[in-house]
Structure 1
Amino acid sequence: MQAHEYEALIANATFGYSYCKIILDSDGKPVDYLFLEVNPAFEKMLGKEPGTVQGKRVSEVVSPVLDDPFDWLDCFGEVALTGKSKEVEGYSVALRRGFRLSVSSPEKGFFNVLSFDITQSKLVELELIKSKETLADYIEHAPDGIFIADSSLRFIDVNPAACKMTGYTKQELLTLKISQILSDEDIPAHRKSIEDLQRTGKSSRVTHFKRKDGTIVTIDIEVVTLKDSRYMSFCRDITEKEQTEIEKNRYMHAFRNTSQPVLIT
């Protein structure tokens, strides 16, 4: 392919192309870069009109990208100074675009960049990260005890409420299996619950935990199956509620079985 054919290919390409010179400070550290050649697709990616980018520094054209979380300057500077090519992905907050970049250096101090717009997939990825962070924050501060167990039913993660509920530290709980914090009388029901989980993917029941100090607490538990044969349990301590119900029933039984008139005010 002749030189003019390459030029035509770059000029009409849907991907961005830029040829740049790295600019260093007195200590040899990259501080800016100069656009020596760009194609229309690259100008469009920057949100600029044709002919407004070439011959200018990035700090003149789109200076906010220098403050992006992804360090473009460090990436390009490393390639320009070492000659080692790179394939990277990054998201520019300033441009609101995600890019997959192929960066190479034809000679020291200069670099070429082929830029591919992957904004949509990057936005999906960022939303997923945000969702995971939100979920992690919820689990950490949830009032209910949350236990996550692996396929062998050993705990692999618990939240602070789970520790408070059982009296164990997180490190201690991560050495135990679910059956080891259940009261002896609840083991048969636990086995039935596992069968339900394997069949339907969820299970709920009232059970009893044996705390580290030996006391028994009544727990309303709901369990769901996650991916990779893991289980997540949402547990609420209903010991006080259960005790209140027992006392209420005891009083009602006394009232129903007395022959004496009872005045309630």
Structure 2
Amino acid sequence: MIQEKDKYRLLLENLPDGLAYCKIVRDNTGKPVDYIFLEVNPSFEVLTGLPRENIIGKKVTEILPLVVKGLKLDLLSVFGQVAATAQSTNFQQYLDQQDRWYEITAYSDQPGYFAMIFRDITERKQAEDALRESDEIFKQFMKNSPIYVFFKNDKIQAIRLSRNYEKMLGKPMHELLGKTTDDLFPSDLAKSMIADDLRVLNEGKQVTVEEELNGRFYTTIKFPILIKGKPRYLAGYTTDITERKQMERGLIYSERMAIAGQLAAGVAHEFNNLLSIIGGNAEYVKGIRNENEINKSLDMIVKSVNRGAQVVKKMLTFSKRIELKKESVDLIEVIEEVLGLVKRDLENNSITVVRNYSDIPKTLIDVGQIQQVFLNLIINAKNAMSKGGELAIKVEKKGEFIKIQFHNAGRIINQEDLGRLFIPFFRTSWQQKKGIPGTGLGLAVSYGIIKAHHGKINAESVKGKGTTFTILLSITKNENMAEILPKAAAKAVKNNKRKLKQAELLIVDDEVEIGKLFKKVLDKEGYSVTVADSGGNALNWCRKKKYDLIYLDIIMPGMDGISVFKKIKEISPKTKIVFFTGKLIEDKVAEMFLDEGAAGFLRKPISLKDLVSYTKNILLF
């Protein structure tokens, strides 16, 4: 059997830590001034590089004089204290000569002697230093980052946030950390943010979203942090893109105005034709007495007026500056609206439109912006077919997308230009050579619009076949669709058998002839109609008489319609007031009028037949 002494020796010889047994040397005053190595194990030799035969029986000041003198810690005093008191100690020491860190434990088994066990912890110290440096870098980054950085746990609680969140959310950091998204953001926004967070955690995939908070726009990229292959945390960063959004809208609007300018000549030509028809028939009617001929001429005048009204409406819809507002629409109807704008221009250039439409569902889009894309592609196709030809438009459902293609057999785009079509301000070599007008922004803006709708757009141009632009727009349903403007006819009580009383109506419009015309028509229906040509006159009439319904123009000199509306409501709160105007205003403004208590909102021109029907339904409702 192995003797007890041999066991200890075997243990010491195989110990991975260095071990030395030493005797303290003191001076006449009892102060420790040196120590002598009595025994060391093999690991001591490996860790220090000092062979056993060179150190046993020798003093440390003989072996390592420079090391002992250069130490900040007085090792002789430390080891002397251990040898005198038998109280063990543990500390870390850096040795310059060896450029190494050691962790040292010293203890004593008898007075005047001590043992020290030490291990090389250089790599651990380097790792700790690197970790501290990394932590400091991270803290400085989170403190000064211009983008918003966040880390959340699997309970969607914020565990780390960049300092700029304090300014965004108006709270100090200690009130943000540990809070859930519900605690920090408005409920509607929080709901969508949590859904995105759960998607990241459950699916382990990166998600990119756009969000709006307090009138500013942000884009956020979220991604999972995997621990042992499972998403335990999520992290992400948010960038304020408000200025970029504003710039994009400015570019979109500028390009829209450029396109509108190109359409102006065609619109002017259209109006000259309409005026010729209206003026000619009006003049013709003066000289005849045949009632049938008069009616035919009057019908032609009415049709021309309606046609002109539609042209004006389309141009205003296209050219107005719109805030991003999506609505559920049929894309084929949007295409037809655009084709209506350029119909005359296409005909004048001998271009025939070939339609290939399949049944498609409605989808959620910004109508004005998508119109701009379609119009840009149609105008480009027209410019490519200088000798005329066919513009083929194909619309179909492809999986979760609606696919729209615009194909023309005109001049092709060379491959070098094809790859740069969607770069801002790029114009093809042929456009530059032929002096084709344009800003070079049309396709770049179109690309941005389609991308903002989470869609795709690309171009293909093949010699002998022509050029095809393909758009893919995702099918998105609007679960909370609400009509902006009231449709009184739809709200009318159809089964109401009650006879209309002789209602009192007031028409307020600074265009006197419009007021007179409305009065003639509504008088004929049995209503008692008064006409006021200004806001002041309207108020005077309202103080004298109670009206059941008032048609009120918005844009008037002096007192405008909104001011008049408020004063009439003070005089007669129950009077129904319908706004009407020839100006195309934003839908949200119209909605504001309704919220303020208006009974309805009409845009001029309105047909006399519709006016009669509208009036009846408003009064019945």
TM-score (normalised: structure 1): 0.70
> Residue deviations 1:91-124, cap 9 Å, x none?
7363344545553211345421123445555544
Equivalent residue for 2:59? 55
Equivalent residue for 2:118? 115
Equivalent residue for 2:35? 34
Contact (CA 8 Å) 1:183, 1:216: kept in 2 or not? Answer: no
Q: Identify which of 78, 83, 87 aligns with 2:86.
A: 83
Matches within 5 A, 1:33-182: 34-39=35-40, 41-48=43-50, 50=52, 51-52=54-55, 54-57=58-61, 60-63=65-68, 66-67=71-72, 79-80=82-83, 82-85=85-88, 90=92, 92=94, 94=96, 95-99=98-102, 101-108=104-111, 110-117=113-120, 119-120=122-123, 123-174=126-177, 176-182=179-185
Q: Identify which of 238, 254, 259 aligns with 1:256.
A: 259
Tell me the distance in 1 between the aligned counterparts of 2:215 and 2:68.
63
Q: Identify which of 183, 190, 193 aligns with 1:190.
A: 193
Superposed displacement of residue 137, structure 1: 3.5
| 3-state SS in 1 of match to 2:179 | coil
Tell me the distance in 2 between the aligned counterparts of 1:115 and 1:14.
10
Contact (CA 8 Å) 1:222, 1:234: kept in 2 or not? Answer: yes
Superposed displacement of residue 56, structure 1: 2.0
Paired amino acid for 2:209: R
> Residue deviations 1:239-259, cap 9 Å, x none?
221222222222222222234
Equivalent residue for 1:222? 221
Paired amino acid for 1:112: A
Paired amino acid for 1:239: T
More helix by share: 2
Tell me the distance in 2 between the aligned counterparts of 1:196 and 1:24.
72
Tell me the distance in 2 between the aligned counterparts of 1:159 and 1:182.
16
Moved more, 178-187 or 216-225: 178-187
> Residue deviations 1:43-83, cap 9 Å, x none?
44234455258312487252377248xx9778756644553
Query: Which residues of structure 1 form unaligned runs of 5+?
Result: 210-214
Q: CA RMSD in A?
A: 4.3
Change (3 A) 1:24 1:222: farther
Contact (CA 8 Å) 1:18, 1:35: kept in 2 or not? Answer: no
Query: Which residues of structure 2 form unaligned runs of 5+?
Result: 266-436, 440-621
Equivalent residue for 1:231? 234
Tell me the distance in 1 between the aligned counterparts of 2:168 and 2:94.
44
Q: Does residue 210 of structure 2 align to residue 206 of structure 1?
A: yes
State how many pairs are aligned.
Answer: 253
| 3-state SS in 2 of match to 1:17 | strand
> Residue deviations 1:155-198, cap 9 Å, x none?
23322233234333212322632234434443443233123212
Paired amino acid for 2:218: I
Superposed displacement of residue 220, structure 1: 1.6
Equivalent residue for 1:16? 18
Tell me the distance in 1 between the aligned counterparts of 2:174 and 2:7.
65
Tell me the distance in 2 between the aligned counterparts of 1:8 and 1:152.
54
Contact (CA 8 Å) 2:181, 2:190: kept in 1 or not? Answer: no
TM-score (normalised: structure 2): 0.34
More strand by share: 1
Largest Rg, 1 or 2:
2
Tell me the distance in 2 between the aligned counterparts of 1:15 and 1:263.
80
Paired amino acid for 2:219: D
Contact (CA 8 Å) 1:183, 1:208: kept in 2 or not? Answer: no
Superposed displacement of residue 232, structure 1: 2.2
Tell me the distance in 2 between the aligned counterparts of 1:61 and 1:11.
29
Change (3 A) 1:119 1:8: same
Contact (CA 8 Å) 1:218, 1:239: kept in 2 or not? Answer: yes
- Structure with higher RCO (Cα < 8 A, 6+ apart): 1
Contact (CA 8 Å) 2:79, 2:106: kept in 1 or not? Answer: yes
Equivalent residue for 1:212? none
Moved more, 241-250 or 115-124: 115-124
Contact (CA 8 Å) 1:144, 1:162: kept in 2 or not? Answer: no
Contact (CA 8 Å) 2:91, 2:105: kept in 1 or not? Answer: no
The percent of aligned pairs where both chains have the same amino acid is 20
Tell me the distance in 1 between the aligned counterparts of 2:161 and 2:170.
12
Moved more, 106-115 or 4-13: 4-13
Superposed displacement of residue 12, structure 1: 8.2
